[in-house]
Homo-oligomer: A and B are copies of this chain.
Amino acid sequence: MAQTSKGNHPGESKEIMTIHDVARELGVSASTVSRAISGKGRIGEATRQRVLAFINDNQFHPNAAAKSLAQSRTFNLAIVMPEVKDLVDMPFFHTCMHGAEEVAQSNDYDLLVVTTDWSNLHPLERMVGNRKVDGIILTRTYENDPFVAYLKEARMPFVTVGRCYDPKVLQVDHDNAGACRELVTILFGRGLDRIAYLGGSMDQMVNLDRYMGYRQAYEAYRRKPDEEIIYKTLQNTAQIASAVDEILRKKVDCILCQDDFICDGVVRHLGERGVKIPEQIRIASCHHSRMLDNYPITITSLKFDTMEIGRKACQVLLDEIEGRKPKRLTMLDYEISLKESTK
């Protein structure tokens, strides 16, 4: 019923139309059709409309592979996601992905997902080698980033979500250091002098930045943070728990958590120990995901628009690919959300 009754030889139900079919049907040449579609090259407005009308009525779509081959462009982008084990970390990357996908779609690009750990370049190499994409979004950067190194060498356009030392690399980021510094400064203003820092690994740039911000705040006030209440290698819940226990003995005013995962662990353990927030100890987090909304108490934290960072990253990448020379570094706003946990 849905078959067009016109068209090809009877019995041949493969209604795969090519640009030549359209041309024949309209009594013009294939190149004319191509021009009508692409808008490139001179073409009479009359025939142009005629072709456009036809391909619209007959649901013609150009074959992507052929187009790719002819122009050496795929109209595909890829987004590289880390293998993330913890539920709390997922929202960031996925929201970011959706943001990127939104922009990609509206520019008629498709988005490929690649999940890989920094130790495994393989999936990237295949994708880049095979020329399956025109550009790549890196959703996380490391101090010595193998992805960045590889993509530069391969001359594949890419943008990083997160900072990168190389100034020639396209970067989209929040001012993590600045935001943290400001947050700590505000906490100082509330009379909280002894602020513990709880962080996970320091290989990720975002973590380095936040930690820097923490120290900068101390330096700006010519104070020295107590190194005894700084933890930078908390990998799991157990380590967080014991760090919290130690901190409780060391009498701190506030705990600054590097991210949601840490914050989650801290709040839970405090709950188990029966320690009241903010009466007995104050809490703040350097990153807010809606995960934190689940707590009985609201948490003071830094807020970033994750969807927006995904959109921006994709936009910058497209600008680069299409020769619009975007600026190398795009900084996004943050928001400091002061809540009950630091009252």
Contacts and interface: CB of A to CB of B under 8 A. Distances in A.
Contacts of A38: none
29 contacts: A2-B153, A59-B129, A61-B129, A61-B130, A62-B130, A64-B68, A64-B74, A64-B131, A64-B132, A65-B65, A65-B66, A65-B69, A65-B131, A66-B69, A78-B110, A87-B289, A87-B290, A90-B90, A90-B94, A94-B94, A105-B115, A105-B123, A110-B127, A110-B132, A111-B112, A111-B113, A264-B294, A291-B294, A294-B294
Interface residues of A, number: 45
Interface string A55-98: 00001011111101100001010100000000100110010011
Interface in A29-73: 59, 61-66, 68-69
Contacts of A66: 65, 69
Interface of A: 2, 59, 61-66, 68-69, 74, 76, 78, 87, 90-91, 94, 97-98, 101-102, 105, 108, 110-115, 123, 126-127, 129-132, 153, 264, 271, 289-291, 294-296
A139 to B, nearest CB: 13
Given A61-B131, A90-B91, 5 more contacts: A65-B65, A87-B91, A97-B113, A110-B112, A111-B112
Nearest to A13: B155
A63 B130 contact: yes
Nearest to A271: B296
A338 to B, nearest CB: 22
Contacts of A153: 2
Contacts of A63: 69, 130-131
Contacts of A108: 126
A37 to B, nearest CB: 12
Given A68-B65, A74-B65, A114 B127 contact: no
A97 B112 CA distance: 11
Nearest to A111: B113
Contacts of A130: 61-64
Nearest to A93: B94
Nearest to A65: B68
A103 to B, nearest CB: 12
A113 B131 contact: no
A294 to B, nearest CB: 5
Contacts of A114: 101, 105, 110
A98 to B, nearest CB: 6
A273 B62 CA distance: 60
A16 to B, nearest CB: 8
A64 B73 CA distance: 11
A151 to B, nearest CB: 13
A304 B289 CA distance: 25
Contacts of A132: 64, 76, 110
B112 A112 contact: yes
